[in-house]
Each structure stands twice: as C-alpha cells, then as structure tokens.
Structure 1
Amino acid sequence: MEQGSARGQARPTYASVASATTPAAVRVPEQPRGEQARGAETYREQPRQDQARREQGRTDQARGEHTHGEPSPPRVAVQRHSVRGQILDALRAALVDGQLVPGQVYSAPALGARFGVSATPVREAMQQLAIEGAVEVVPNRGFRVSQRGPHELAELAEVRALIEVPVMLRLARTVPPARWCALRPLADATVTAAAVGDRASYAESDRAFHGAVLALCGNEQLVMVADDLHRRSQWPLGNNPVTRRADLLADAVEHTALLDALIAQDLTVVQSLVREHFNGAES
C-alpha cells in the first residue's frame, strides 16, 4: 500500500498545522513521538514487503505453475463477491462440458488468468475438487483432471440406485399428486437443456430434479450424499470427454415420464422407470 508522502519528506506535526490554520485559543496536541516512530518504521518496512512479494512470485514459479502451452477457453467474467464459490461452479461446469480434459494438467495461475482472478481462489477451488476426486494434485505443476473408466461409472450408478430407488418408491406411495405437479418445471428444465446440448446446464437441472424428489423424504443427509454421488457420476470418461446430446435427451425424457407416472400414482410404471433410469446410467 502506498504511503501518503514521499520518503524523506518532513511530515508536519499537528502542532505545526495548528499554528498555521487554527486560532491561538485552540490548542491541538502534538503527535506523540511513538506515532512518528511508527510512521517512519512503516516507510522502512515497505521495501521488505515488496521483497517478500517478489520472493513469493519466485516460489510460485519454482512450483511449476506456469501458463505456457495450455489451452485457453474464452475468458469468463467473475464477480468479486464469493469468488471461490463462483470459480468452483465454473470449474465444475468446465469438467462436465469437456473444457477441462481428463489427463490434462492445469495450473492455478493459468486458470486464474482465464477467469480474471488471482491464483488463490482457483487453487482453493481445485483443492475442493481434489477432495471430491475430480482432479489430483501434481506437485510443482498444478492439478490433473482425473481419468475415469466405465467400471467407476457403473459403481457410482449402483450406489446411487441403492440409495435413491427405495426412497423414490416409498415416496410414490405416500406423496400426493399435487406435490409432484410442483416439480414439473424442474423436469421441463432438463428437457430444455438437453434439447440444445447444453451439458453444463443439463447437469445442474438434472441434479436439481433428483434433489427435489429426494428432498420430499425429509432426510437432509441422504439428499447431500445422493447429490455428491450424482455430481461425481456426471464427470466425463477418459475416452469420451462429453456426453452426446441424444443421451442427454433420452435421460431427460425419463424424468418427464417418471413425473407423469408419479402424478398418476401408477406404481408399476414408476418402479419400472426408476430402475431403468439407473440401469441406463451404468451403460
């Protein structure tokens, strides 16, 4: 932070200012000597702070967080409030959309340059993705997007089915049709996103629909666990970076059909659709 006066320039005390600008009857106390000493110390401290910043820059460079040769998607404007959360959402969307390629290493400074922010919130967001298993830390380089195979995707689908299928079937027997009708806009949103091939929007609307259905059971812990599993299942496979639009649309149509069956209280169709929905996720 720049100081208010240049180095070496005499700083007027409150007493000298008072003698030039205030009546003699008004006494303004002089600045204590301790305050003057601290002011001088601030001037002396500034070069050390600048040197520390330069040293930190060399440390970041030594860690290998460079930006050379990395693909550069369009720059995204990010608001300053809740920067880390916005970066995390943007990175998750980039994962689903195939902009972050499985097996590719990305550095925090390079990603920060794309989003127009410093490396710090990007690094924090990538650490969260590492906890979730979407990326892995590469010492002195950055983060590598995880490469997943069909077996891992099938495991996720199996666990999701174990959690969600019994809950959905129980809700189908107990929730009145009017409650299901209120979820119609969420089902329609998945169809809209799938129809235009917007994978990132589809991923969000897909999870929103499933989350709203499960929320009717009143178990917040179950909803959080299911959402985490659902998010993991949306990451692209190593040999197939993005999901085809036809597959998205087929999945979205199942949402609409399921909701229709729930509103009609057709338990046989509901059970068939729910199991088919998760079996399709394994293929």
Structure 2
Amino acid sequence: MSISAIKPVAQPASLRAHVESMLSMAIISGELAPGTLLTVPTLAIQFDVSATPVREAMLDLEGRGFVEPVRNKGFRVTAVSDEVLRELVEVRQLLEPPAMEELARHFPTNHLSELEDLADQIVFGARTGDLRAYLEADQRFHLALTRMLGNRILVDMVADLRSRTRLVGLSAMLESSRLDESAAEHHELLGYLKTGDSAAARALMHRHIHHAVGWWAGNPEVDADSTAVSAN
C-alpha cells in the first residue's frame, strides 16, 4: 500500500494532527478506497514516526466514522452510503448557497487578493494532480468565505459537513477535464461575489455542491430537473 500524500513530518508537536490530516484527505478523495485495510505499524513506517501518534490518529478517524477497527488486523476504511451522502449534500445545500447569496450583498473586497490566491492554488492542484493541495486550498477557500458572514456556528457546521462528505471519485477525475472545470468554479464564484451578483453566487454554489453526488462521487451529473448530464 502506498499513499502519495504521505510525507515525513516536519513539526514533531503536530504528529498526530499531521497523520490524521493526511489520512483523512486520502480517504475523502478516494485515494484510500472504502474497504482498504490500514495497519498502525505499516503507517508508522510510511510516515516515519512512532506507532503512538499513528494509533491516536486512527482512533480520531474512527471517531469521525472514517475507519472501523478490525480485530487483530488494524482499521478498515469505511464507506458512506449513497443515502448518507445525499443527506449531507442536502443539508449543505440548505446552508452554503444562501450564505454565498448573502455574502455577495456586502462582500469585503479587501480580502479578494487572498481569496484569488487560494483559488489559484485550487486550480494548480487540479492541473498538477496534487489532490492534497487541491483539498487543503479548497477547504481554506470555502471556510474563509463563510467566516466573512460573522457566524461562528455556521462556520463550524459547514466545516463539519464538508469534512464528512466523501469525494471518492475525485482521484478518477484527474484523467478527465472535470477536476479543472470544478476548480475553475472558485474563480467564477469570486467574480459573482465581487460584482454583487447574489443570485448567480447562490446558483453557482448550488451547482458546485451538487458535484458531491455527481462527478466527485464518480457518478454522471444530474441537473435540478433530474435530467442526466453527459459525463464526457
């Protein structure tokens, strides 16, 4: 087993967090597919750390529902059912598109440069096939926008829902233009926010989240009228 995102840890104080972050991104993106068996000794060697932070990280991932223990073997990556994924996306649709609609009405342009840089990082991650960079920048981008509304509970809810949304088709998208198209939507969203086009910002965010049950899940896209959109 080999995970491309695994790299030696630079800061010993964050061993546990580093291991959990790398593994969770690999699970979210589908690089570590459901059913994959993970063992603490093997991961410790790959991360070049002791078994303790790896074991602690695995217990954290178990608490998040990302893995389940397998007696005398290790941990197995869990699957998220289509029903659970659909429910997660439905809740996100209730929160995030209206939030972007509201933000467009009073978008603070003094943060535009920072957000454009994050959008550039997302595009670069897609073009180079660096899913770790893509996911990290994507998370920072969307949570930064949500924080601008000044509601900490909303930020926590969106962060939690995003962390639980599996994107198992993401790695497969590297062989098509779909990940590039999805990445480009971040610059498109900033354009609507900058010009105050609240309706367009809401519609774009709705389409963007919908990828979680379409492209990002390895499925054909389906529009609002339940008409299948070509996956080519």
TM-score tier, shorter chain, comes to 0.7 to 0.9
Are positions 1:108 and 2:40 aligned together? Answer: yes
Equivalent residue, structure 2, for 1:174 = 106
Q: Structure 1 residues 131 and 247, CA, compared in 2 at 3 Å: closer, same or farther?
A: farther
* Structure ranking higher on relative contact order (CA contacts 8 Å, 6+ apart): 2
SS at structure 1 position matched to 2:171: coil
Q: Structure 1 residues 122 and 182, CA, compared in 2 at 3 Å: closer, same or farther?
A: closer
Are positions 1:201 and 2:133 aligned together? Answer: yes
Report the RMSD for the aligned CA atoms in angstroms.
Answer: 2.2
Q: Structure 1 residues 182 and 97, CA, compared in 2 at 3 Å: closer, same or farther?
A: closer
Q: Deviations over 1:234-255 (max 9, x none)?
A: 442xxx5734123321211111
Equivalent residue, structure 1, for 2:228 = none
**C-alpha contact 2:119 2:186 (8 A) present in aligned 1:** yes
Q: How does 1:39-78 map to 2 (within 5 A)?
A: 71-73=1-3, 76-78=7-9
- Counterpart residue type for residue 262 of structure 1: L
Are positions 1:117 and 2:44 aligned together? Answer: no
Shift of 1:72: 4.4
CA distance in 1, matches of 2:202, 2:13: 44
Are positions 1:220 and 2:152 aligned together? Answer: yes
- Counterpart residue type for residue 95 of structure 2: I
**C-alpha contact 1:161 1:278 (8 A) present in aligned 2:** yes
Are positions 1:163 and 2:92 aligned together? Answer: no
**C-alpha contact 2:100 2:198 (8 A) present in aligned 1:** no
For structure 2, list consecutive stretches of 5 or more residues without a partner in the other structure: 215-232
Q: Structure 1 residues 209 and 234, CA, compared in 2 at 3 Å: closer, same or farther?
A: farther
Equivalent residue, structure 2, for 1:145 = 77
SS at structure 2 position matched to 1:217: coil
- Counterpart residue type for residue 114 of structure 1: Q
Are positions 1:275 and 2:206 aligned together? Answer: yes
CA distance in 2, matches of 1:174, 1:99: 38
- Greater Cα radius of gyration, structure 1 or 2: 1
For structure 1, list consecutive stretches of 5 or more residues without a partner in the other structure: 1-70
**C-alpha contact 1:108 1:123 (8 A) present in aligned 2:** yes
What number of residue pairs does the alignment pair up?
210
